[in-house]
């Protein structure tokens, strides 16, 4: 009888998505290293997901994407796991909300019901998330992109004298010239999450590239944002068709990568030896 009570308590303790993923991994006889090999996600991030400690991950889209990839690796329904993780994020805002807050209002009639309050909070969060996704994925150009295109059109119409009035090109590897407006294209070698940071380091937009999927960075993004990713080896960066090589050590969160063509090509032409990645510590 005592053993049955312990078993029942153990089952009731499984309340988070991380517990479910961990148990599925252990039932399959897999280690965290095995999951990392299958998903190309670092063990530090996988351990945080198992503990449902999302504060150590770079963003909401990363959390959901990592959890879905983990679910595929252990044969769990990824859509269900993704929805479960999103609910947990909305419930605790990365653990910042207290588990319980007791209060005693002096006039309950003046306060909305708890159900109505939480319904409004959840609806507001869903609408904000949907609007952010629509803004990022919309095929219509945003104001910054329109302004950049207008400036380019005005410059092309300006009169030129003698030599071509183009922006001087900078020298890249082996003396090759790099046009200032050379297209910057990101290609997924395998599934990879990328983000674009503003001048303050805040990640404004995220997206996932599937293997072989390409994404040409808009000119406005090149001027206003820098690139970040946690799987540099899964991302191929080309400038005017030229591969600039790895943008950071494998399985390391890199950020602040300039998207300007000259800066990217300069990285490819750098002669300094590659730095050895710092030892990883699991927190």
Q: What is the pLDDT of residues 32-56, one digit of tens each?
A: 999 999 888 989 888 888 888 877 7
The mean-pLDDT minimum among 42-46, 74-78, 174-178 falls in 174-178
What is the chain's mean pLDDT, rounded?
A: 75
pLDDT value for 183: 93
State the CATH class of domain 8-95. mainly alpha
* CA count, 13 A, side-chain hemisphere, 121: 13
Is the model's pLDDT at 188 over the cut of 80? yes
pLDDT band (50, 70, 90) for residue 12? very low
Q: Is the pLDDT of residue 170 over 90?
A: no
**Residues 188, 213: Cα–Cα separation, whole Å:** 6
3-class DSSP state of 168 = coil
Q: What is the pLDDT of residue 18?
A: 87
Does the pLDDT value for residue 69 go beyond 80?
yes
Mean pLDDT calculated for residue range 213-219:
91
Strand partners, 239: 184, 242
Q: What is the pLDDT of residue 136?
A: 66
Closest CA to 229 of 263, 205, 262: 205
At residue 267 the predicted structure's pLDDT band, cuts being 50, 70 and 90, is confident
**Torsion from C-alpha of 35, 204, 123, 55, nearest 10 degrees:** 40
**pLDDT of amino acid 248:** 87
Q: Are the C-beta atoms of 52 and 17 separated by less than 8 Å?
A: yes
pLDDT for 51: 86
Average pLDDT, stretch 175-191?
A: 83
> What pLDDT was estimated at residue 153?
61
pLDDT band at 143 (very low <50, low <70, confident <90, very high): low
Banded model confidence at residue 22, pLDDT cuts 50, 70, 90 = very high
pLDDT(115) > 70? yes
Report the pLDDT value the prediction gives residue 1, as an integer from 0 to 100.
41
Most confident of the following: 57-71, 124-138, 226-240, 268-282: 226-240
Across 90-99, 146-155, 190-199, 242-251, least confident range: 90-99
Residues 6+ apart with CB under 8 A from 80: 71
**Between 119 and 159, the higher pLDDT residue:** 119
Q: Where in the chain is the domain with CATH 1.10.260.40?
A: 8-95
């Amino acid at each position: 009888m005592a053993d049955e009570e312990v078993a029942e308590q153990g089952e009731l303790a499984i309340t988070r998505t991380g517990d479910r993923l961990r148990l599925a991994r252990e039932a399959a006889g897999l280690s965290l290293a095995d999951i990392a090999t299958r998903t190309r996600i670092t063990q530090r991030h996988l351990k945080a997901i198992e503990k449902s400690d999302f504060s150590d991950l770079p963003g909401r889209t990363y959390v959901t994407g990592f959890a879905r990839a983990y679910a595929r690796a252990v044969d769990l329904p990824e859509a269900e796991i993704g929805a479960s993780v999103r609910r947990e994020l909305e419930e605790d805002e990365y653990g910042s909300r207290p588990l319980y807050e007791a209060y005693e209002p002096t006039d309950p009639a003046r306060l909305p019901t708890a159900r109505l309050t939480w319904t409004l909070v959840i609806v507001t969060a869903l609408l904000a998330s949907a609007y952010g996704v629509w803004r990022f994925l919309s095929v219509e150009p945003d104001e910054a992109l329109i302004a950049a295109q207008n400036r380019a059109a005005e410059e092309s119409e300006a009169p030129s004298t003698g030599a071509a009035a183009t922006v001087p090109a900078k020298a890249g590897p082996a003396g090759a010239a790099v046009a200032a407006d050379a297209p910057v294209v990101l290609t997924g070698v395998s599934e990879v999450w990328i983000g674009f940071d503003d001048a303050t380091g805040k990640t404004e937009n995220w997206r996932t590239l599937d293997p072989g999927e390409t994404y040409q960075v808009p000119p406005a993004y090149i001027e206003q944002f820098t690139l970040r990713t946690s799987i540099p080896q899964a991302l191929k960066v080309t400038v005017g068709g030229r591969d600039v090589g790895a943008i950071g050590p494998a399985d390391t969160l890199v950020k602040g990568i300039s998207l300007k063509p000259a800066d990217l090509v300069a990285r490819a032409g750098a002669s300094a030896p590659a730095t050895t990645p710092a030892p990883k510590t699991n927190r």
